[in-house]
Structure 1
């Protein structure tokens, strides 16, 4: 295991154990010394992993006591942060599948060009994907990405992880996103592609995603069945 990735793997393993209840809320994680022995690594690597746990709301470091486990049972779908659905799927630990309904290269329309700050003639990838969680179709993700930033896309990439493709294969540096959350009437498309279970409204999360040079390259509408997700943020004051 590469040293640069080891603390991330330790973070993922410990956060998974916290979510599974192996370490219960208000209990203490093993000491740094015990974690060093368990993972056969240095104290510096363990401290990096613990810092990530703290930053993501899994633990509270208590001086002289250790790392107190926080209650993460309600942290099901974070609004803050910028993660791919595949990364989120790994943290949710549920049976999730992705179905690609559309992958098409088209020109930006009148309504879309302001979202992506581009000309109406600009070529844009349009992707429509449905997320099925534990047998129910509850999320409709609609993405538009500028071809000038993303020259190639395949259905295989879209069904797996677009962000992994962008970062690892195209070398793009995805930096930040502006998000807007509203509750809106379900559309005919929502009713056709989702199992709305009688709900007439959906939760709509709009994302405007920027690269490191501040260029916007992606606009996303993530449409959720009302009863399936509670949006929770964890905020830590930085001094």
Structure 2
């Protein structure tokens, strides 16, 4: 749609209004990323200065975030996790188009917490990873895994989601999971790692996953910044 060139409203404000309406309508879901300056220039046949003025207006209005080297994004874009789909935490970020990465915090063999000894024996693996979206930490994942998982190469553990790692090492698929979601205060170490305020209340997702044999594959907790994350549960009417 072309601009009204002789409109007394400056062209950059017209562009800002168009983009504002599209943001409200969800046109830039799921990633929340707006077109580049060059793409907006070509769309409206205007100069880069005009485009930058429009984006500055949206920035002042708190509608967008401009990330150096990454582009322009809808402000406060939330990650959505479809909890009725069997999908690892990292995968749920990637399928939405986010620039999602993982950073190893801890990967080691430990004495199994007493509650998990019936599942893993006296020794298990501890894998802690920081989940990062567009260079911003949003969650810390802590997984207790079978002892052989402590032999993972750190580079691989930073690239592959938990379910893929388990399948590769155990040679068996994850076929089911039990999930519980709550909110609570956590130790300062965790809030510091994910950039939350020291006394912040975080979302906590607890997950137990199982191989097709029925054996427990993992017991995990994800400590999540609530302002950046949203859980979604689909439902349907039963057949009659």
Structure 1 equivalent of residue 200 of structure 2: 200
Give 5+ residue unaligned stretches, structure 1: 1-16, 22-72
TM-score by length of 2: 0.61
Deviation, 1:82, is 1.9
- What is the 5 A alignment of 1:73-88? 76-88=80-92
Is the 8 Å Cα contact of residues 74 and 232 (structure 1) preserved in structure 2? no
Asked if 1:101 corresponds to 2:100, the answer is no
Structure 2 equivalent of residue 186 of structure 1: 186
Q: 1:134-156: per-residue Cα shift (whole Å, max 9, x none)?
A: 232110000110126x5742212
CA distance in 2, matches of 1:215, 1:170: 11
Structure 2 equivalent of residue 159 of structure 1: 158
Is the 8 Å Cα contact of residues 199 and 225 (structure 1) preserved in structure 2? no
Deviation, 1:117, is 3.1
Give 5+ residue unaligned stretches, structure 2: 1-27, 33-76
Structure 2 equivalent of residue 90 of structure 1: 94
Q: 1:67-104: per-residue Cα shift (whole Å, max 9, x none)?
A: xxxxxx98821122221234223212122221101100
Asked if 1:136 corresponds to 2:136, the answer is yes
Bigger Rg over Cα? 2
SS in 1 for 2:235: coil
Structure 2 equivalent of residue 216 of structure 1: 216
